[in-house]
Amino acid sequence: MNDNEIAIINSLGLNGSLGKKPQLKKFIFRLAGAPPDRAIRLIHVDKNHSLSELKHIVIREYKLNPILDIQFICNRRILVNNIHHHLSKNPANAEILVMLVLSGG
């Protein structure tokens, strides 16, 4: 494991999980509208995380403003509530598009 993977596992609180190996899958996240060198990140995701936990992980990884809301798009579908269903259906290293959502005002 490299330093980035260890940092992600530690930030998720999975380093002391009672001897169980976490069920992490690698997903490629692509931030829409960002330059390619900053847009693409490989993030390990636990299939037991909720969508809001995944949003916090991605916001932290991309160093985005926490006020912004983001949506995930995978296989031309917006991931809404049932993230477990989408993560189990998609193969490892699937690409997920991260869209910033600005509320109108």
Residue pair 22/14 in contact (Cβ under 8 Å)? The answer is yes
Exposure of 65 in the CB half-sphere (CA atoms within 13 A): 6
Largest Cα–Cα distance of the chain, in whole Å? 49
CATH class given for the domain over 3-101: alpha beta
> Is residue 94 pLDDT above 80, yes or no?
no
**45-90 pLDDT tens trace:** 877 778 888 889 999 999 998 888 888 888 777 877 656 666 666 6
